[in-house]
């Protein structure tokens, strides 16, 4: 698997609208792009407070489905979300108190990966749903370059 891995630079911009408040997050980190079969994996870290970090793994399947896994060991939080354009998907967040089921509704998703030069864009607009209630609207904009 490591033979198919390439170093990339990742820029992630997130816009989150929750309870009438809008938040923006920007991440600039080195990452690793790996291709296994027909799937592409992108790994990078998100810096948290107190020199801690969350590990991010993004899987892009050949059918266009996107899986987003985020693990922050220092805060005992882990999430796994799935995105399929114009569809609902089940996911979850793991806390020290147990597993909480979540759903996503992907309003729009676009993936573009170029081989020469290696670069790509992953855009996901989605609603995060808990107990049949929308708890937030998200705009996920990721760009990577070798």
* pLDDT tens per residue across span 47-61: 888 788 999 999 999
Q: Which domains does the chain have, with CATH numbers?
A: 2-145 (2.40.128.20)
pLDDT value at residue 105: 98
pLDDT value at residue 3: 57
Residues with Cβ within 8 Å of 116's Cβ and at least 6 positions away in sequence, in order, are: none
Pairwise pLDDT comparison (100 vs 51), residue with the higher score? 100
Burial profile 108-124: b = 16 or more Cβ within 10 angstroms, e = fewer = ebebeeeeeeebbebeb
pLDDT value at residue 45: 95
Predicted TM-score of the model (pTM) = 0.92
The mean predicted confidence, pLDDT, of the chain is 94
**Res 1 pLDDT > 50:** no
Query: Is residue 97 very low, low, confident or very high in pLDDT (cuts 50, 70, 90)?
Result: very high
- The DSSP H or E segment spanning 104 is strand 98-115
- Which residue bears the tokens 């600039």? 28
* pLDDT tens per residue across span 3-28: 589 999 999 999 999 999 999 999 99
CA distance 10 to 69: 16
């Amino acid at each position: 698997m490591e033979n198919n891995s390439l170093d990339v630079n990742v820029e992630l911009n997130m816009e989150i609208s929750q309870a009438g408040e809008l938040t923006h997050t920007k991440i600039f980190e080195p990452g690793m792009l790996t291709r296994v079969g027909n799937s592409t994996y992108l790994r990078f870290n998100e810096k948290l407070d107190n020199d801690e970090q969350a590990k991010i793994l993004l899987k892009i399947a050949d059918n266009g489905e996107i899986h987003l896994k985020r693990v922050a060991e220092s805060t005992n939080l882990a999430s796994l979300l799935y995105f399929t354009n114009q569809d609902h998907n089940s996911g979850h967040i793991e806390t020290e108190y147990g597993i909480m089921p979540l759903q996503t509704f992907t309003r729009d998703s676009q993936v573009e990966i170029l081989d020469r030069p290696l670069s790509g864009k992953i855009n996901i607009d989605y609603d995060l749903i808990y107990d049949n209630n929308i708890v937030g609207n998200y705009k996920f904009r990721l760009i990577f370059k070798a």
